[in-house]
Amino acid sequence: MDNETVVKVPRKKFNSAYIKRHYQLYLLLLLPLIYLIIFKYLPMWYVLIAFKKYSIVQSITEMPWAKNHGFEYFIKAFKNRDFLRALRNTVKLNLLDLLFGFPVPIIFALILNELRLKKFKKVVQTITYMPHFLSWVIIYGLALQLFAPSTGFVNLLLGKMGLEAIPFLNDANTWVKTYIGLGIWQSFGWNSIIYLAAMAGISPELYEAASVDGAGRFQKMWHITLPGIKPTIVVLLIMALGNVIGSGFDRPFALQNKLVMENAEVIATFVYKIGIKGLQFSLTTAVGLFQSIINVFFLLGANWLSRRLGERGIW
């Protein structure tokens, strides 16, 4: 389900002498290349399962084609309300993530960049990175301790203050906010690294010149820092858009429960439940293939748009 982003090397004329000279480097490249071929390209052959009646004992070429010219399972999927619900939720949660989650690391990086005290900056950075290394299962454990309706710390505190408990985890709509919020909390520190790196690359002369011209802090941020990291922002935005109907599995799966399925069932968890637990491999491969194709279109679209707007795009 993950999309491989192919980074192209600037084109060079094919030259065997060149390869001979740098053969060590090519050897080094070989291992990751084999990995990609075995784990990313060979499995693609098996998307055929989406068009065939899957059987564990037959090889992919032996399996009979599905009905309706092989499209039986696609038709089935689009007639399945649970799939449509999962599709809707995937788009909804990802767009919300993009809307609220995307700007946060940029703003955070801007603020961090303004800090003078090196030590303080380091400490803040380290603390905000940390959640990135926690698995979602652990984060859900923390969320239960904090947000459970009757035993969660936050709700106990609210109760002590005479306020109503907030159904962070057990109301479908509030759950969406919890989901987005936890996502931002988990990733903003980590995601800000790349922006900070981009900011470090901006020439200090620009700031000095601006200071001479009498620019204030906000003016410098607006006219120098932001334009300086704009290419980075665009690349990351394209990649995020390319994933708008994709989704990780662990985050929604770890956070969902029976009461919030209305908003929490996404394609990844749907595929797991129906395909892997419910043994409908063909149906869910069809769903997965559909998801990948849409993602590719989003990716191409976003890339095209960014070029139209005068940015570099990612290829």
Partner 1 sequence: MKRRVISLVLACTMAFSLAACSGGAAEAPAEAPANNETEAAAEEPEAAAPEETAEVASELVDGKFPDTRHISVEVYDRGNDGGSDPTNNMYTEYIKKGMLDKYNVEVEFVAVPRWTETDEINNLLAGGSAPDICVTYSYPTVKTYADMGGILDMRPYIDDYKDILPNLWGWLGESNLYWDSDPNDGTTWAIEAKLANMNRVLTFVRKDWLDTLGLKEPTTKAEFHDMLVAFKDNADKLLGKDAGKMVPYSVSYDVGWRAATLIESFIDPKISDKEYYVNGFDDRKLTENGTKDAIKLLNEWYNEGLMWKDFAIYGSGDTTEDDMMKAGYVGAFTHNWDYPFRNGEDSIQANLARLVGPEAKYVAIDPFEDKNGGHTKFLAGPIDRKVFFPATNDEPLASMLYLDFISDPETIQYLQIGDEGVTHNVLDDGSFEIIAATGDAIQNSGMNIDYTITCNGLHLTTDELTKNSLAHSYAGIDPEDVLHANDIANTDTIIGINVKVGDIEAEGGVGETLSAKRDEIYDKAVSAPVADFDKVWEEGLSDYLSAGGQAIIDERTEKWDAQYTSENIR
- Distance of closest approach, residue 311 Cβ to partner 1, in angstroms: 34
**Binding of residue 219 to partner 1 (CB under 8 A):** no
CA trace torsion 133, 138, 142, 144 (10° rounding): 150
Cα separation, 239 vs 21, in Å, equals 35
**Binding residues for partner 1 restricted to 175-214, rule: CB under 8 A:** none
DSSP tally for the chain: helices H, then strands E: 16, 0
List, as one string, the DSSP characters of 142-209: HHHHHH-TTT-HHHHHHHHTTPPPP-TTTSHHHHHHHHHHHHHHHHHHHHHHHHHHHHHTS-HHHHHH
**Nearest residue (CB) to partner 1, 144 versus 200:** 144
Query: Is the CB of 16 or the CB of 150 nearer to partner 1?
Result: 150
Nearer to partner 1, 60 or 200 (CB): 60
The b-or-e profile of 51-74 (16+ CB within 10 A means b, else e) is bbbbeeeeeeeebeebeeebebbb
DSSP bridge pairs for 52 = 65
Minimum CB–partner distance for residue 244 and partner 1 (Å) = 21
Three-class SS state of 10: coil
Residue 47 touching partner 1 (CB under 8 A): no
Q: Smallest gap, in angstroms, from Cβ of residue 250 to partner 1?
A: 6
The yes or no reply on residue 278 touching partner 1 (CB under 8 A) is: yes
- Contacts (Cβ under 8 Å, ≥6 apart) of 150: 165
Tokens, residue 142: 């923390």
Task: Write out the binding residues for partner 1, residues 102-161 only, by CB under 8 A.
Answer: 135, 137, 140-141, 144, 148-151
Cβ 54 to partner 1 shortest distance, Å: 7
In order of 97, 141, 145, 159, the CA distances from 156 in angstroms are 28, 17, 10, 5
Determine if 73 is a binding residue for partner 1 (CB under 8 A). no
Query: Which of residues 250 and 311 has its CB atom nearest to partner 1 in the complex?
Result: 250
Nearer to partner 1, 107 or 279 (CB): 279
Q: Which of 99, 197, 279, 300: binder of partner 1 (CB under 8 A)?
A: 279
User: In this structure, what are the phi and psi dihedrals at residue 58, rounded to the nearest 5 degrees?
Assistant: -110, 155
Size of the site for partner 1 (CB under 8 A): 42
**SS3 category, 112:** helix
Residue with tokens 């603020």, as numbered in its chain:
111
Compose the 241-260 pattern: x for residues touching partner 1 by CB under 8 A, - for all others: --------xx--xx--xxx-
- CA angle, 92 as apex, 131 and 107 as ends, to 5°? 45
Instruction: Choose which of 48, 98, 158, 170 interacts with partner 1 (CB under 8 A).
Output: 170
Q: If binding is defined by CB under 8 A, does position 273 make contact with partner 1?
A: yes
Q: Which is nearer to partner 1, 125 or 291 (CB)?
A: 291
Residue with Cβ nearer partner 1 (87 or 199): 87
Q: Which of 66, 169, 289, 314 binds partner 1 (CB under 8 A)?
A: 169
Q: What residues make contact with partner 1 under the rule CB under 8 A?
A: 39, 42-43, 46, 49, 54-60, 81-82, 135, 137, 140-141, 144, 148-151, 169-170, 249-250, 253-254, 257-259, 261, 272-274, 276-281
